[in-house]
Structure 1
Amino acid sequence: MRPAVLALLSESPMHGYQLMQEIRRRSNEEWRPSPGSIYPILQQLEDEGLVRTVEEGGRRVAQLTDAGREHVAGREEEFAALWESHTPDDDPTADRFTALHKQLGDLWAAAGQVAYTGTDTQAAEMRKILSDARRRLYALLAEDPNDED
């Protein structure tokens, strides 16, 4: 899990919840880190001087220090290998579900950002958008698949 945390922090600062969600998303739910695994890793990286945390929007956000950036430099291939999919090639629905999973992960990340950093008004608007999307998806299933426009 430590290399995954370093890989993500090399891309951008994140708080613990974002790290957990992004690891789940990028590993196609194969890794499901808990707070009990992420926060001790962050503390260890901070103790080693590779990461520092700053207060941002009421949350503690971790970011690499200069020493941390030096530590991860040149490890791009190693980090990319962490996220290689383990979906069987013979599964005809794999591409469809992989694409859906990525889009849902992106939506989840965006909704999380609004929930954590947005105003109350923005959070209320987000809930309306998500409710509308849910209704529209069910309406899509109710359509006649043979009725082409």
Structure 2
Amino acid sequence: MRMNLERLRRGALRMLILDALSDRSMHAYEIMKSIEKKFGGVYKPSPGSLYPVLKSLIREGLIEVEMREDKKIYKLTEAGKAKWREAKSNVKSLFSSNTNYRKLISQLFDISLLLYGYREKTSDQILYERLNRVLEECRGNVEAILEESKQSKEE
């Protein structure tokens, strides 16, 4: 079972592409496989989601394209390398400086590992529907708490 692409925010896919290209230049299929490997096969971007993001990154000057043996090879520009270093630094500082945030992320990660561990143990559609309802309710509760917090700070 793969994660649904619509649930992966566009910004996350952008960073995943920059991350893949930070190691070396690649063609689109290699980028997809690199991302899939990073997620242990749970998520792989489709060509329909990858190419629009690649085009956007090219327009922004973060990646460029070279033709090699009739294949488009994507590579980071200097601006792309700088953007990746900045994003990587922000993630490191966020996770290292905020203990409460790290605890939340750890909880989410634990839930994802729990779900991943049961992915092939059951094909019970009702179970998946129940779990999905619980997660949707949880997301709604989290959004409500964050909105409430935002409003109280504005007052």
Deviation at 1:74, TM superposition (A): 4.3
Is 2:57 aligned against 1:40?
Answer: no
Whole-angstrom CA distance in 2 between matches of 1:74 and 1:39: 23
Identity %: 29
**1:50 equivalent among 62, 67, 75:** 62
For structure 1, which runs of at least 5 residues remain unmatched after alignment?
92-149
Residue equivalent to 1:23: 35
Whole-angstrom CA distance in 2 between matches of 1:62 and 1:13: 6
Whole-angstrom CA distance in 2 between matches of 1:61 and 1:44: 16
Whole-angstrom CA distance in 2 between matches of 1:9 and 1:32: 16
RMSD: 2.6
| 2:19 aligned counterpart, secondary structure | helix
Is 2:79 aligned against 1:67?
Answer: yes
Deviation at 1:28, TM superposition (A): 1.2
Residue equivalent to 1:10: 22
| 1:6 aligned counterpart, secondary structure | helix
Any conservation in 1 of the 2:15–2:84 contact (CA below 8 Å)?
A: no
TM-score of the aligned structures, taking structure 2 as reference length = 0.49
Whole-angstrom CA distance in 1 between matches of 2:75 and 2:85: 15
For structure 2, which runs of at least 5 residues remain unmatched after alignment?
1-12, 96-108, 118-155
Deviations 1:92-124 (A, max 9, x none): xxxxxxxxxxxxxxxxxxxxxxxxxxxxxxxxx
Equivalent AA in structure 2 for residue 37 of structure 1? S
Higher helix share: 2
Whole-angstrom CA distance in 2 between matches of 1:12 and 1:76: 17
Instruction: Report the number of matched residues.
Output: 87
Deviation at 1:13, TM superposition (A): 0.7
Deviation at 1:76, TM superposition (A): 3.6
Whole-angstrom CA distance in 2 between matches of 1:57 and 1:63: 16
After TM superposition, which residue ranges in structure 1, 4 or more long, deviate above 6 angstroms?
A: none
Deviation at 1:75, TM superposition (A): 3.7
1:1-149 equivalences in 2 (<5 Å): 1-76=13-88, 78=91, 86-88=112-114
